[in-house]
Amino acid sequence: MFIKTCLCVTMGSMDKTLELYYESAYLTEFEGRVLACDSRDDGHYEVILDKTAFFPEQGGQTSDVGLFTTSDGTEIHVSHVSIGDGVIRHICDGAVSAGDELHGRIDFAHRFSNMQQHTGEHIFSGIVSKRFGYDNVGFHLSDSEVTMDYNGPLSKRDIDDIELAVNRAIWENVAVTCSFPEASELSTIDYRSKKELSGDVRIVTVEGYDVCACCAPHVNRTGEIGLLKVVGLQNYKGGVRVSILCGQRALEYLGRAQDIVKTLSDTFTTSDDKVVSSVEKLSEENSSLKAELSELRDKLIDIEVNEIESKAGSVFVAKSGSFDAGAARKMVNLLAARNSGYSGVFSGDSGNYRYVIATGDDNRDLKALNEMLKERYGAKGGGNNKMVQGSLCAQDIGDVIDSCYSI
Ligand SMILES: [Zn+2]
């Protein structure tokens, strides 16, 4: 077994970049020489160095970010890093020249968080592989989420058991080692891999838990992960998608969850363990109050309908915005049963009104009335020869109603 320390293989016009993150995942500062700097259409620059500690986006993991400092002290931000044919490109907000020596510094808080998430994922996937025989067929690690896709089902109970096993592995603080075995040795190792690999294969071993081919930086010992929390489980393409958080991200997530529970327990003046039953009780009370309110509203509509006087067989009523569409239709149906002309309800506030209008036994021309509302008040809506409905804007609803009576 040998540790990869130097790779400078000529690839056409550009040498492969020496990957310093393979020497140590904890290397945060380095010196590099600029080989090329190209401007981009978005105003940024693409900088290639002879070597770098910046880990590029690959294998489902987003890249490192950080800073370059030029020899005259100018600071240039590195917002993204990519790799193609072994050449690593840094996206920067400032220009440099070929031959310049740069001091690089990666954002280690960001890098370390990615290391915690990624090693946590390896332990989780190693346990899933051993216990269930499922493969991790999709991995995504960004600043906002960490997801793994497994090609078989896992229940909530399974997830709880795996989560506990991963955290036990964290508490055991076992070693995590990264190496590039010789081909002869590699053929004897049973390791997880998403695809058949050729060339130098980097093997990441979590002692007693997992052996996996992987190119990313990892923590030295599992205790550095701190904590792993599963925060999502959903069915996905015949298997499951699991969302996890490790280290500070897990702590912050649990802090936010605790704040929500605390706010609810204060609101309900109850203890944390009774919050769920309090919310369920409130929801049930709300449903029964809604049903009671609906019954009372219907009774009120019956009383109101009996008291409304018609003009030449027609009735038009204005209500506030809280009078919903169901109530408006009920009122119109009752009015139309009592009045032979038009029966309409306008409901709304601030100049915006919904309307429902029906015709009684006279079978008056609803189409003509609707056309009038469209022409004079910009109404939008339609219906049939028994009922029309829509919406319109009017400053004075009394004026609209007068127009309806006069048609
Ligand atoms: Zn990995």
112-264 CATH: 3.30.980.10
The alpha carbon of 216 and the centre of ligand 1 are apart by a number of angstroms equal to 6
The alpha carbon of 250 and the centre of ligand 1 are apart by a number of angstroms equal to 19
Number of CB atoms found within 10 A of residue 11's CB = 12
In the chain, where the domains are located = 3-106, 112-264, 309-405
CATH architecture entry for 309-405: Roll (3.10)
pLDDT at 13 over 80: no
pLDDT in tens, 227-240: 999 999 999 999 99
Is the overall model pTM greater than 0.85, yes or no?
no
State the DSSP code for 272: G
Q: Are 122 and 210 in contact (CB under 8 A)?
A: yes
The alpha carbon of 106 and the centre of ligand 1 are apart by a number of angstroms equal to 20
The alpha carbon of 122 and the centre of ligand 1 are apart by a number of angstroms equal to 6
3-106 CATH: 2.40.30.130
The alpha carbon of 175 and the centre of ligand 1 are apart by a number of angstroms equal to 16
The alpha carbon of 121 and the centre of ligand 1 are apart by a number of angstroms equal to 8
Helices 156-172 and 108-132: crossing angle in degrees, nearest 10, is 120
The alpha carbon of 14 and the centre of ligand 1 are apart by a number of angstroms equal to 27
The alpha carbon of 115 and the centre of ligand 1 are apart by a number of angstroms equal to 10
The alpha carbon of 41 and the centre of ligand 1 are apart by a number of angstroms equal to 33
Burial class for 373, CB neighbours closer than 10 Å (0-12, 13-18, 19+)? buried
The alpha carbon of 112 and the centre of ligand 1 are apart by a number of angstroms equal to 14
Helices 325-338 and 275-307: crossing angle in degrees, nearest 10, is 20
The alpha carbon of 6 and the centre of ligand 1 are apart by a number of angstroms equal to 21
The alpha carbon of 145 and the centre of ligand 1 are apart by a number of angstroms equal to 15
Mean pLDDT of 247-261: 97
pLDDT at 120 over 80: yes
pLDDT band at 14 (very low <50, low <70, confident <90, very high): confident
State the DSSP code for 224: G
pLDDT band at 199 (very low <50, low <70, confident <90, very high): confident
Q: Which is more confident, 7 or 171?
A: 171
The alpha carbon of 181 and the centre of ligand 1 are apart by a number of angstroms equal to 17
Residue type, 134: Y
pLDDT band at 198 (very low <50, low <70, confident <90, very high): low
pLDDT in tens, 378-399: 999 999 999 999 999 999 999 9
The alpha carbon of 33 and the centre of ligand 1 are apart by a number of angstroms equal to 29
The alpha carbon of 5 and the centre of ligand 1 are apart by a number of angstroms equal to 20
pLDDT at 9 over 70: no
Q: Are 140 and 149 in contact (CB under 8 A)?
A: no
Q: What is the DSSP string of 47-111?
A: EEESEE-PPPSBTTBPPP-EEEE-TT--EEEEEEEEEETTEEEEEESS---TT-EEEEEE-HHHH
pLDDT in tens, 328-340: 999 999 999 999 9
Which pair of structure tokens corresponds to residue 25? 């995942």
Cα(170)–Cα(174) distance, integer angstroms? 7
The alpha carbon of 118 and the centre of ligand 1 are apart by a number of angstroms equal to 6
pLDDT in tens, 348-372: 998 899 999 999 999 999 999 999 9
Cα(260)–Cα(272) distance, integer angstroms? 10
The alpha carbon of 208 and the centre of ligand 1 are apart by a number of angstroms equal to 16
The alpha carbon of 144 and the centre of ligand 1 are apart by a number of angstroms equal to 18
Which pair of structure tokens corresponds to residue 247? 């280290």
Q: What is the DSSP string of 352-365?
A: EEEEEEEE-TT---
Q: Are 146 and 117 in contact (CB under 8 A)?
A: yes
The alpha carbon of 92 and the centre of ligand 1 are apart by a number of angstroms equal to 27
Strand arrangement of the beta sheet that strand 146-150 belongs to: 136-141, 146-150, 239-246, 228-236
The alpha carbon of 303 and the centre of ligand 1 are apart by a number of angstroms equal to 71
The alpha carbon of 10 and the centre of ligand 1 are apart by a number of angstroms equal to 27
Residue type, 271: S
Over the chain, what is the mean pLDDT? Answer: 93
Residue type, 308: I
Q: Which is more confident, 14 or 240?
A: 240
The alpha carbon of 139 and the centre of ligand 1 are apart by a number of angstroms equal to 8
pLDDT in tens, 176-191: 999 999 989 998 999 9
The alpha carbon of 68 and the centre of ligand 1 are apart by a number of angstroms equal to 27
